[in-house]
Structure 1
Amino acid sequence: MTGLEALREAVLTCVADDLTTTAIPRVDLYRVSQPIALPPAIYPPFVSLILQGEKRLQVGNQSIRYCAGESFTALCDLPATGEITDASEASPYLAARLTLDFAAIRDLLQQMPATDFSGTSHGIAVHKVEDALADAWLRMVRLLAKPDELRVMAPLVEREILFRLLQGPQGGLLRQAAAVNGHFTNIRKVLLWLRTHYATACRMEELAAIAGMSLSAFHRGFRASTGLSPLQYQKQLRLYAARKTLARHPGNVATVAADVGYQSLTQFTREYTRLFGLPPARSLRLFRQNGTDSRR
């Protein structure tokens, strides 16, 4: 049995359907038994391994498919929609995800020899899972059955997973992402600012200054990192926040639109419908009927 096959069996035995937030920090496991549309979400920087089935993510204008035996790396907070396209009771979709700790990556890099790598400005990538990485993940998942060992061993195994990632095909990408004054770090400063100030009108010159980049370099770098322009990214943050508010605290649509920064209810309705497939008023009715955000 290969490491990937053993990892698949280990995940099958320890998770029920849907997302399982494990006792190990930053580690999540997934098991889905039917094709589903995923709720819009802002994904943190992460590496995900698909062990069985197939998933599609829509990030800006990019449609990304990855399947069993592949890993997906995202280096910035990404607003995304998607779907599990291949899953069944007999053969459920299975995946493991590690949210990236860039401080831990930087600490590890200090103890590794410098390595030449081809430069890239893209913040997302798909690669084949190598055996050494699957083996490290297998040891991580097996720790869930050993709570007396987990606290001591999980940080060590996470460190090995990061090491294997740095040694693998995504290593150059991760090295750039962890650079203190690097391209991705500068863009993430802007993303953090936008996450807090999404309802505030902003000038591109201000955002470029936060990144410490020229305006033209900032525009190019932002789109390459996120798949969106800065204004598109801010728009999606506003719409995601509006959807969350409508789902958790149903209220007046016009008030919600104004709270997330829209001055025109017509524009809000048009852009909300384009992104989510339903007008906000209908979403609100569904949320009130269901009492929760139900993946619709």
Structure 2
Amino acid sequence: MHDVIRVIKSFVEQRAIGVLTLTNMPRVDILKVCAPTQLAPDIYRPVVSLILQGEKRLVIGSQVLRYTAGHTFIASIDVPVIGEIVQASASAPYLAVRLTFDRSVVADLLRDAQGLDETPDHRSFCVSQASEDLLDAWLRMLRLMERQDEIAVMAPLLEREILFRLLRGPQGAVLRQVASIDSRFSRIRKALDWIKANYSTALRVAHLANLANMSPSSFHRSFKASTGMSPLQYQKHLRLYEARRRLFADPGHVAGVALAVGYESLSQFTREYARMFGAPPARDVRGHSKNTRTDRAGR
């Protein structure tokens, strides 16, 4: 297994350009970070990533995940995360490959495949060791970067194989939730969709439970099991991530941004922003602007 990882790592490192390299395969990219780094809070879409070198730490709600070379991370819903590259250097950068997968492919595989356990797990994300078969599929997918004329035919087939290998492995229960129609998880997804579309609106758990056709207590337990946080915490993450994005793009309008993302109290917004990002909005924006200028000067 380690030999395959070394082959993939060497192949990827030679082709990585900057922090993020978009490949010529649909929804496949390469990540390269050359020093320990606190990553910007982000919303992870349904994704599978393979770590090739270095170490990463993710905080999802109250849960902390750490993973290193040979581990696969998978998320089956949109998950708010705070990440950190723990181990990386110029001589041994953090390297990973990532596939933002197509949900419909998972549904097709579940219809076609035999012998897959249909009982879903309630958690929507996990980390586990990649199998040799999965690593082999990743290697063949990445080698398509050198075979442009084969991508249209082979990339969809290899995406199916990567997802098929995951479905048959320890992360299969998490991935199966993507395509489930009648499960409790699919009902939680309806509530997630509502929160994402209405993150600036006051949230009532009873309304979300009704959307999910569940009792409020059952809904609250299931939601936290799936996302790692309560509905109110999930909404708060969405609000603050969006606020930070807006402030970085257009500094100097803290009160307007706070109101736009759903906060009626500027003091509450400032307090919760500082708790999540380590500094109040104005100072955080100044630090970001300073780092951006430094990065540009150093290029």
TM-score range, shorter chain: over 0.9
CA apart distance, 1:181: 2.0
Map 1:89-168 → 2, pairs under 5 A: 89-116=90-117, 119-168=120-169
Q: Is the 8 A contact 1:102 1:178 kept in 2?
A: yes
Kindly report structure 1 stretches of 4+ aligned residues shifted beyond 6 Å.
Answer: none
- 1:266 maps to 267
- Which residue number corresponds to residue 223 of structure 2? 222
Tell me, yes or no, if the aligned pair for 2:55 and 2:85 is still in contact at 8 Å.
yes
8 Å CA contact retained: 1:19, 1:28: yes
Structure 1 unaligned spans of 5+: none
Residues 187 and 13 (structure 1 numbering): CA distance in 2 closer, same or farther, change over 3 Å?
Answer: same
Residue 285 of structure 1 corresponds to which residue in structure 2?
Answer: 286
Tell me, yes or no, if structure 1 residue 238 matches structure 2 residue 239: yes
- In 1, Cα distance between the equivalents of 2:229 and 2:101? 21
Deviation of 1:4 (Å): 1.9
Residue identity opposite 2:227 in structure 1: T
Partners of 2:258 and 2:173 lie apart in 1 by 41
State the one-letter code of the partner of 1:210.
L
Q: Which moves more between the two structures, 203-212 or 41-50?
A: 203-212
Match of residue 7 from structure 1: 8
Q: Secondary structure at the match of 2:177?
A: helix
More displaced stretch, 120-129 vs 231-240: 120-129
Q: Deviations over 1:187-217 (max 9, x none)?
A: 2222222112100012111111222322222
- Judge conservation of contact 1:26–1:100 (CA < 8 Å) in 2: yes
How has the CA–CA distance of structure 1 residues 149 and 71 changed in structure 2, closer, same or farther, with 3 Å as cutoff?
Answer: same
Indicate if the aligned counterparts of 1:4 and 1:135 stay in contact, CA closer than 8 A: no
Size of the alignment, in residue pairs? 293
The residue that corresponds to 2:59 in the other structure is 58
The 1:202–1:118 alpha-carbon spacing in structure 2 relative to 1, beyond 3 Å, is closer
Question: 1:119 Cα shift?
Answer: 4.8
Instruction: Answer yes or no: is the 8 Å Cα contact 2:71–2:128 preserved in 1.
Output: yes
SS of residue in 1 equivalent to 2:200 = coil
Q: Distance in 2 between matches of 1:214 and 1:198?
A: 22
TM-score normalized by structure 2?
0.93
* 8 Å contact from structure 2 (residues 120, 176) kept in 1: no
CA distance in 1, matches of 2:249, 2:21: 21
Percentage of matched positions with identical amino acids: 52
- Per the alignment, residue 29 of structure 2 pairs with 28
Q: Find the aligned partners of 2:210 and 2:78 in 1 and give their Cα distance.
A: 19
Secondary structure of residue in 2 paired with 1:190: helix
**2:101 aligned partner, one-letter code:** L
Tell me, in whole angstroms, the C-alpha distance in 1 between the residues paired with 2:6 and 2:286: 44
- Name the SS for the 1:89 alignment partner: coil
The aligned residue for residue 175 of structure 1 is 176
Consecutive unaligned residues in structure 2, runs of 5 or more: none
Q: Name the TM-score, length of structure 1 as normaliser.
A: 0.93
**In 2, are the aligned partners of 1:7 and 1:135 still within 8 Å (CA)?**
no
Query: 1:250·1:284 contact (CA, 8 Å) conserved in 2?
Result: yes
For the 8 Å contact 1:41–1:81, the answer to whether it is kept is yes
Distance 1:232 1:273 in 2: 15
CA offsets 1:206-245 (integer angstroms, 9 cap, x no match): 1112223222221111111111100011011111111011
